[in-house]
Structure 1
Amino acid sequence: LGPAWPSNPVKYAIRGAINAGVPANTIVLLLLLPLVATIIAAARHLVGLRGFGIFLPAALSVVFVATRPVVGIGLFLIIVTVSTLTRMLLRKFKVKLQYLPRMALILWIVSFSVLGVLFAAPVIRHPDLTNVSIFPILIMALLAEDFIRVQLGKSIKTAINLTTETLILALVSYFFLTLKIVQEFALLNPEWYLLGILAFDYILGKYVGLRILEIWRFRKLIKA
């Protein structure tokens, strides 16, 4: 390992935490969260993918790690669909409720819908669904509030586009979270890894040019 200071303090701290009983997977996941946030920020700032901010795609990617993408995407789409339909029905029937009671009602319906999916697990017989724990489901159910908050004031088409982009960002983040070479590098070289992420975030924040999707959209004007 070399001396703990000044080049390896995080590495020694990681080893101490693992020796104390902290799961290595938990440490790796926490180390990779800054990378996930950077990937999502770069996708927004350089590519032009919007999604639902940083927190939603990042949280979804962690959920995908716990549930696997197929089950995770399925549960996410169920939650999104149910919350959207509930909001539309409340608006259609002119049910006027204050924000927090309305969100509580929507979360009640979302929870019941997810519970219905779990009740159907013996029929579906998908191993990842039958083994899913409460925490990924709880995270996704709570994400419904953020999803609805972002939806407010936007059209259905915009909401669908944002949902699709969020899923893309979450899947890309999931890929990096589960990539063994990235996990090993972050665990074995945490100082270089964290400094690299920090430097890239700083450089990314200084970029003020056109995004890739904007260049593609306005390519004719740019050529002219």
Structure 2
Amino acid sequence: MLQNFSGPIRLAIEKAIGAGVPANTIVLLLLLPIVAFVIAFSRNVVGIRGFGIFLPAALAVAFVATGPVAGIGLFLVIVIVSTVVRLTLRKFKLKLQYLPRMALILWAAVLGVLGSLFLVPLDVSIFAVLILILLTEDFTRVQIGKSVKTALSLTMETLILALISYFFLTLELLQNFVLANPEISLLAVGILDFLLAKYSGLRLMEIYRFRKLVSSK
């Protein structure tokens, strides 16, 4: 796969793989800029909001390690448990400082994940499980100040973005391309990011939502 190529990045990749760096790790790193662009495109052009770029991308990486079904299941357990604990603390008006409150929510999320693994034994990577659990703080932080409906909507949109990102991370054709052409891949994504940053038009979901108003003009 790495034959007959003289590009500096690919030569460095060949040397790294020869030194024992897993090819999957390099491929994943090369794919992350593509995933970030896809998430940004989905937000700025399509209109899928989600919780930023980091959360969907991290979820997608976790899904690669756990598989989509197990990953979604654990993700939903963590979201449900953390949301219930957050709403319970709010209901009883317990004024806890931020870090102790997050530690309590994380404790509850760990119990939820442990309970799930006890009920449905899964052979999942501890790395992926830790990613999912540690994302609890980020989900809780972005939910603060939002209604339950808004938080659930953003959570589902984040899950959609994570699944789309998972598709790109596991697409074998794309994996082979970025490994064979890292310079082209990185340069193309950089240009696309710049062009996307210049876009300021209506999002597709906004056009659909206001289609009657647009068509009447």
Moved segments of 4+, more than 4 Å:
none
Report the counterpart of residue 147 of structure 1 in structure 2.
Answer: 139
Residue 178, structure 1, aligned to residue 170, structure 2: yes
What secondary structure does 1:51 align onto? coil
The percent of aligned pairs where both chains have the same amino acid is 65
Distance 1:29 1:68 in 2: 15
**CA offset digits 1:117-167 (Å, max 9, x no partner):** 112234xxxxxx2x1121111111110101011101111111111111111
Report the counterpart of residue 126 of structure 1 in structure 2.
Answer: none
Amino acid of the structure 1 residue aligned with 2:40: A
Distance 2:101 2:113 in 1: 18
Matches within 5 A, 1:123-162: 129=122, 131-162=123-154
1:95 deviates by 1.5
Report the counterpart of residue 57 of structure 2 in structure 1.
Answer: 58
Distance 1:118 1:221 in 2: 50
Report the counterpart of residue 45 of structure 1 in structure 2.
Answer: 44
Q: Is the 8 A contact 2:78 2:136 kept in 1?
A: yes
Residue 209, structure 1, aligned to residue 208, structure 2: no
TM-score by length of 2: 0.96
Residue 189, structure 1, aligned to residue 181, structure 2: yes
Distance 1:160 1:3 in 2: 48
Report the counterpart of residue 82 of structure 2 in structure 1.
Answer: 83
Distance 1:218 1:198 in 2: 32
What secondary structure does 1:165 align onto? helix
What secondary structure does 1:132 align onto? coil
Distance 1:167 1:221 in 2: 31
Superposition CA RMSD, Å: 1.0
Report the counterpart of residue 116 of structure 1 in structure 2.
Answer: 115
Judge which range, 111-120 or 21-30, deviates more: 111-120
Distance 2:12 2:190 in 1: 19
Distance 2:160 2:85 in 1: 25
1:45 deviates by 0.4
Distance 1:3 1:135 in 2: 34
Matches within 5 A, 1:19-38: 19-38=18-37
Question: May I ask how many residue pairs the two structures share in their alignment?
Answer: 214
Distance 2:94 2:113 in 1: 24
Amino acid of the structure 2 residue aligned with 1:183: Q
Amino acid of the structure 1 residue aligned with 2:52: G
Report the counterpart of residue 160 of structure 2 in structure 1.
Answer: 168
Distance 2:167 2:57 in 1: 12
Unaligned 5+ segments in structure 2 are none
Amino acid of the structure 2 residue aligned with 1:61: A
Judge which range, 156-165 or 13-22, deviates more: 156-165
Distance 2:136 2:209 in 1: 31
Distance 1:10 1:148 in 2: 39
1:22 deviates by 0.3
Distance 1:97 1:27 in 2: 42
1:3 deviates by 6.7
Report the counterpart of residue 125 of structure 1 in structure 2.
Answer: none
Unaligned 5+ segments in structure 1 are 123-128
1:2 deviates by 5.3
Distance 1:208 1:106 in 2: 38
